[in-house]
Structure 1
């Protein structure tokens, strides 16, 4: 085998963040009676949350904001879209969201199947994730996929973030893996794929949404089942 160590991203690659976030936000929408407070359209609120979350994560990766600001500001901005300026509500939603989200277990199609396939072929499977340490460990435990991974490298644990080279170097050191026998698998072109490329590591772009791009990764698939054609 050319590769021995497979480094997966978690959110949006294996664990369906958008679906799990929607379930959690709908729960909060109901229990906190957001409709009565002025959030008249849940689907719009959910879409706005995802857009704010995406932009704030980009700012967090680039060092412009801290973790605590990201967690609350995505809720505050989503509420402000409905002209609700309520910092106490935003803080309450942030805390409850992070308590509830990791208990959700919606995975992308074929996740268990492909992890089992790779495990049986004796690949060493690891995670490199920009998520928070405690939250990410809860996600993989509650999704019943924790046992597939030898090492879980988080941004908190490594004190770095994808796409920075340091987190990939940290992962290689932690797993005692050679860069030439390692490959990164993820959905985020900048953080996972270009980040791994700049660190000298091969990549599999898991392009779930069939996004257009100019970068040429080592491999590209559109769903997890296609990984069987590579490994």
Structure 2
């Protein structure tokens, strides 16, 4: 068995961020009466939120903004798309969103089954995630997959971010894993796959959305179920 340590990403890889975010935003949309305030199209609001969130996370990973700014600004910008300049509302939505989001438990198809399969084959499973410490632990606890992971390495806990080499080095150190027996599994080509590649680690690109790319990872799958053919 070449690999002993499997390092998974969490959001968009195992935990369906988009589905869970949509459920949470819909709850906020209704309880905060956003339609009455001027957000007349929830689906558009949700798509705009995802777009803003993606761009802000890229800026956060690059060190241009802090996490506190990211959390509020994604709500502020989504509201401004509907000409709503309400800082109190944006702050309220940010706080409630972060309280509610980790309670959601929608996983990608086969996530729990594949983790059980890998666990039974005696792989050491870990997480490397750019998420916030408390939030990410709540997610895996509420999704009932926490017991599969030996180590949960977050950007907050490691003081680094994917794709920086430092977070991969930190993960190897705390998990007592050798580079040659470790592999990174994730959906983000830049953060997970290129980040691991630059750190010298093999990779599995979990290409849920069938994205077109030029980089050739060690492995690529389009479904978590396909991991059973590799490991």
Aligned to 2:152: 152
Shift of 1:67: 0.3
TM-score normalised over the length of structure 2: 1.00
1:200 has 2:200 as partner:
yes
Q: 1:79-98 to 2 correspondence within 5 Å? A: 79-98=79-98
Shift of 1:179: 0.3
Q: 1:62-141 to 2 correspondence within 5 Å? A: 62-141=62-141
Shift of 1:22: 0.2
The CA distance in 2 between the partners of 1:40 and 1:192, in whole Å, is: 37
Which structure 2 segments of 5+ residues have no match? none
Deviations 1:160-200 (A, max 9, x none): 00000000000000000000000000000000000000000
The CA distance in 2 between the partners of 1:225 and 1:34, in whole Å, is: 39
The CA distance in 1 between the partners of 2:15 and 2:33, in whole Å, is: 28
Deviations 1:116-146 (A, max 9, x none): 0000000000000000000000000000000
Shift of 1:110: 0.1
The CA distance in 2 between the partners of 1:174 and 1:159, in whole Å, is: 14
Deviations 1:26-68 (A, max 9, x none): 0000000000000000000000000000000000000000000
The CA distance in 2 between the partners of 1:197 and 1:78, in whole Å, is: 34
CA RMSD of aligned residues (A): 0.2
1:27 has 2:31 as partner:
no
Shift of 1:16: 0.1
The CA distance in 2 between the partners of 1:10 and 1:125, in whole Å, is: 12
The CA distance in 1 between the partners of 2:92 and 2:189, in whole Å, is: 33
Other structure's SS at 1:183 match: strand
Deviations 1:61-119 (A, max 9, x none): 00000000000000000000000000000000000000000000000000010000000
Other structure's SS at 1:150 match: strand
Aligned to 2:211: 211
Other structure's SS at 2:128 match: strand
- What is the aligned residue count? 231
